[in-house]
Amino acid sequence: MKNVSFQQWMVLVIVTLLFSACKYSEEPTVYKGKDVEIAYPSYLSEAEGVYPMKNALVQAKNDYRDVYFILVDHGMKPGDNGFELMFDSITTQLKRNLREVKIESPDTMFVTANQLKVKEARFSGILSSEKQDHRFLFLIDVFETPEGHIYQTAGWLFRHKQHLWLEDLKTAAYSLKKSSPPAEQ
């Protein structure tokens, strides 16, 4: 057997470490708090500044994969038409900050397996930064609990990578559920 040099040994160790460091758990990360629970992919890490607002409960991203996900607590709906007003406000505000907005699928309304009313929008648009334009795909879900509390999830990624990560963002959004109150002792 051929002797392996120190440099070859170190390259082998570094390559092995890189492969093991890039492996993510199959188990999703679960957020529990503020009367809700949601499970999002383990390849997303909690981060500050993804959605820098006080009412953001979850801010997660993976810069390598260019995938972002948030959960926002909007409180009780404002009036009888509050659910529709919140949905329209959220989607309109985002579309105003994009160029070349393209509707990827019509808005849909349904009830999740966790008995939450949800309205979903999926559209893409160009976000610009210094000397770069990127077309992102946005998946926006606005949820209403039976009590009238409004939550929002949003996931976004490069449009050309939707075949890789869009189903993960949908699965995360649809996992939102009301937490059970803690049992009394």
Domains of the chain: 27-178 (3.40.1000.10)
Read off the pLDDT of each residue in 62-81 and give the average, rounded to a whole number. 91
Which own/partner pairs from 79-86 qualify as long-range (CB within 8 Å, at least 24 positions apart)? 82/148, 82/150, 83/117, 83/119, 83/142, 83/144, 83/148, 83/150, 84/119, 86/142, 86/150, 86/152
Instruction: Kindly list the distances between the CA atom of residue 73 and the CA atoms of 58, 87, 142, 165, in Å, as whole numbers in the listed order.
Output: 10, 13, 10, 24
162 Cα distance to chain centroid: 13
> Looking at residue 61, what is its pLDDT?
94
* pLDDT greater than 80 at residue 10: no
pLDDT-derived band at 53, boundaries 50, 70, 90: confident
Amino acid at 100: E
The pTM score is 0.82
pLDDT-derived band at 185, boundaries 50, 70, 90: very low
At 19, list the tokens: 């492969």
Instruction: Kindly list the distances between the CA atom of residue 140 and the CA atoms of 25, 89, 124, in Å, as whole numbers in the listed order.
Output: 25, 12, 11
Digit-coded pLDDT (tens) for 75-130 = 998 888 889 999 999 999 999 989 999 999 999 999 999 899 999 999 999 987 76
Contact 148/160 with Cβ under 8 angstroms? no
